[in-house]
Amino acid sequence: MSLDRESALNIARVLTEALPYIQHFTGKTIVVKFGGNAMVDPLLHESFARDIVLMKLVGMNPVVVHGGGPQIGELLKKLNIHTEFVNGMRVTDSETMDVVEMVLGGSVNKEIVSSISRAGGKAIGVTGKDGQLIRARKLTVNRYSPELGASEIVDIGHVGEVDQIDTEVLNVILGSHFIPVIAPIGVDHAGNTYNINADLVASKIAQVMRAEKLMLLTNVSGLLDKQGNILTGLSTRQVDALIEDGTISGGMLPKIGCALDAVKSGVASAHIIDGRVPHAVLLEIFTDTGIGTLITGRSS
């Protein structure tokens, strides 16, 4: 069936608009953190996989880092393992860590790899333990104690932060024309395993790989001002000011912190985008208007 004239012209406009972006980003590394609704909605999951495959086909080097909080919580519930959170982070004892590793390094990681394969791409799934890709250290958490009237250090178990990233592993995968799909699990020098926030891992990988872009998929439309309007085209200085005046607060702060760290460390731009929108990744990369919040290191 042939297209009508208007539909054909619309496709031509889209391709023409995308061309300069394809030319600019060819050969560049783009780190994408995959999480939120896009992971659990089958249609969004498949559209994300097609986006990543297209990026690879036009010459980009996508690196996928994924979360899996809802899936971990679901399995813990099925196994009747109690879980609690401190400052938004899951307390992870040895039993819980086994479940985290099973879900992130197993079912979730392999499903993403399979989705990319179904879309015609080639991917390799790894955890940060493979080849010691992610060296971790135990995360220290401070929480205010009303009883003590002061802050106290809380042990939340096998929760870590990134100590260093071994780029050799990623370069081998990218050099073989595969798409790396990374579960945010790290290991320390003593061989202890740690669960690490996926946004943090994606930010650190973007930094050490000197990525062109860091893209963080979320369940919100982007960074909003106090009137609920989406903010975009922001400099790091402007973002710092928004944090200072309280516009950015609560649960968005850690995510914005990861984006800021990446840009301040040399990543050209960071993007907070709505993973609930089909093909959100392509819309942000290949269109003039984009979708979500763009943060760059420009001075203004």
pLDDT score for 299: 56
Domain membership of residue 175 (yes or no) is yes
pLDDT score for 27: 93
Check if the beta carbon of residue 167 is closer than 8 Å to that of residue 141: no
Domain membership of residue 226 (yes or no) is yes
* End-to-end CA separation in angstroms for the chain: 51
Point out the least confidently predicted range of 47-61, 112-126, 133-147: 133-147
Task: Extract the tokens encoding 110.
Answer: 């392999």
pLDDT digits (tens, 9 = 90+) for 203-247: 999 999 999 999 999 888 888 888 888 888 888 899 888 888 888
Average the pLDDT over 258-279 and give the result. Answer: 92
Higher-pLDDT residue of 17 and 177 is 177
Q: Residue 35 belongs to what domain range? A: 23-296
Domain membership of residue 18 (yes or no) is no
Higher-pLDDT residue of 172 and 154 is 172
Considering its fold, how many domains does the chain have in total? 1
Domain membership of residue 203 (yes or no) is yes
Indicate whether 102 pLDDT > 90: yes
pLDDT score for 148: 57
* Percent of the residues in the chain that have a pLDDT greater than 90, as a whole number: 54
pLDDT score for 179: 97
Domain membership of residue 76 (yes or no) is yes
- Here the CATH number for the domain that contains residue 65 is 3.40.1160.10
Task: Extract the tokens encoding 170.
Answer: 């990623």
Q: What are phi and psi of 226, to 5 degrees?
A: -70, -15
Amino acid (1-letter code) at residue 43 = L
- The number of residues making up the chain comes to 300
Instruction: Kindly report the average pLDDT of the chain as a whole number.
Output: 88
> 97-102: long-range contacts (C-beta < 8 A, 24 or more apart)?
97/157, 97/158, 97/193, 97/195, 99/72, 99/75, 100/72, 100/158, 100/185, 100/195, 101/127, 101/185, 101/193, 102/75
287/52 Cα distance (integer angstroms): 16
Domain membership of residue 8 (yes or no) is no
Helices marked H in the chain — which ranges? 5-25, 37-40, 42-57, 69-78, 94-102, 109-118, 167-175, 198-208, 236-244, 252-264, 280-286
CA angle, 225 then 33 then 290, to 5°: 50
Domain membership of residue 162 (yes or no) is yes
* Percent of the residues in the chain that have a pLDDT greater than 70, as a whole number: 94
Highest mean pLDDT among 23-37, 84-98, 147-161: 23-37
Average the pLDDT over 142-166 and give the result. Answer: 77
pLDDT score for 79: 93
**pLDDT bucket at 156, cuts 50 / 70 / 90:** confident
Domain membership of residue 1 (yes or no) is no
pLDDT digits (tens, 9 = 90+) for 108-127: 999 999 999 999 999 999 99
